[in-house]
Amino acid sequence: MAPAFIRPFAAADLPAAARLLAQRHRRHRRTSPLLSPRYEDEATTLAEVSNAWETEGASGCVALDGDEVVGYLLGAPKTSTVWGPNIWVEAAGMATRDPETMRDLYGTAATRWYDEGKTAHYALIPSDDVALIDAWFRLGFGAQHAHAVMTPPTEPPVVPGGLAVRRAGRRDLDALAELDLALPAHQGLSPVFSAGPVGTLEEARQEWEEDIDSDYYASFVAERNGQVIGAAVGCPLEKSSTHQGLSRPEHSAILGFAAVFPDARGSGAGQALGRAVGRWAADEGFETLVTDWRVTNLLSSRTWPKLGYRQTFLRVHRHLGY
């Protein structure tokens, strides 16, 4: 049953929202125990909800049952033009007792967002909450991106016959730069149709030159007949701007980049590179390893779950007015 009253979010609602968020995270960790237990504490979630509320341009609403807050929704825009005129509901931006209430919350919050001209909406939802995901789908949203986590493997990485995987070096810079462009080029094709920009070969090579000797990044290449056909990079998660807040496990590394040239896809190089990053993470003492992918990327959405990654959050998207 829908709550009796929905009104705009106010600063006084932060403690109640933090309580709902901590409860949500406790439920989430029953199926995703590798997520951080810190966010089961209301003091920690209060900081997260406060950050969401204090983000420039943030707005939202709460649902009330009598005087009790039983749900909330907060969104804020990002400045990048890649996402369109946008609103983002991040990992700390929603919690509710009844998933159906989220539809009422969005109906109220989205009125303001639409009036402000923000017509591209994104929301990050716990992957285990089937009813909440269904509520967002029934608001016209579709799945766009997955976040996932695994325990780094301790067994030696398996490399298919005819391939070799090794650490990357300066002799690989030209191939690495080409692979840096191969990934967004692939993402721009069907069925992903990403609008992300594709840089120049010179820009990609310069970036690799700056990072190839860094102690923070573990770069690997896959070879076939002595030719580089793919690459992958792992690094401490703290070096990445992704998987923030409730979606960030403790003591984690990230598989932050992986690409294989089109004529070598299907050879097993992607999986071999992913396993190499996983073994590096284990050897470095990381307790968890995360990655993320577009769910419409047929290759990555099949490859990474095969290696043991389990989804933690699902990003959904809706573009209004069409």
pLDDT value at residue 81: 81
pLDDT value at residue 225: 95
* Ranges in the chain, pLDDT < 70: 1-4
pLDDT value at residue 2: 53
pLDDT value at residue 157: 85
Q: Rounded to an integer, what distance in angstroms lies between the CA atom of residue 297 and that of residue 192?
A: 6
Main-chain phi, psi angles of 312, to 5 degrees:
-115, -40
Q: Rounded to an integer, what distance in angstroms lies between the CA atom of residue 1 and that of residue 100?
A: 8
Fold of 163-312: Aminopeptidase (3.40.630)
Q: Rounded to an integer, what distance in angstroms lies between the CA atom of residue 21 and that of residue 251?
A: 22
Buried b (16+ CB within 10 A) or exposed e, 198-232: eeeeeebbeebeeeeeeeebbbbbbbbeeebbbbb
Domain boundaries along the sequence of the chain: 5-140, 163-312
Sheet containing 86-89: which strands, arranged edge to edge?
86-89, 120-126, 310-319, 142-150, 288-294, 252-260, 227-236, 218-224, 163-167
Q: Rounded to an integer, what distance in angstroms lies between the CA atom of residue 88 and that of residue 74?
A: 8
Four-way CATH pick for 5-140: 3.40.1380.20, 3.40.50.1390, 3.40.630.30, 1.20.120.80: 3.40.630.30
Instruction: Give me the residue label for tokens 């400045």.
Output: 79
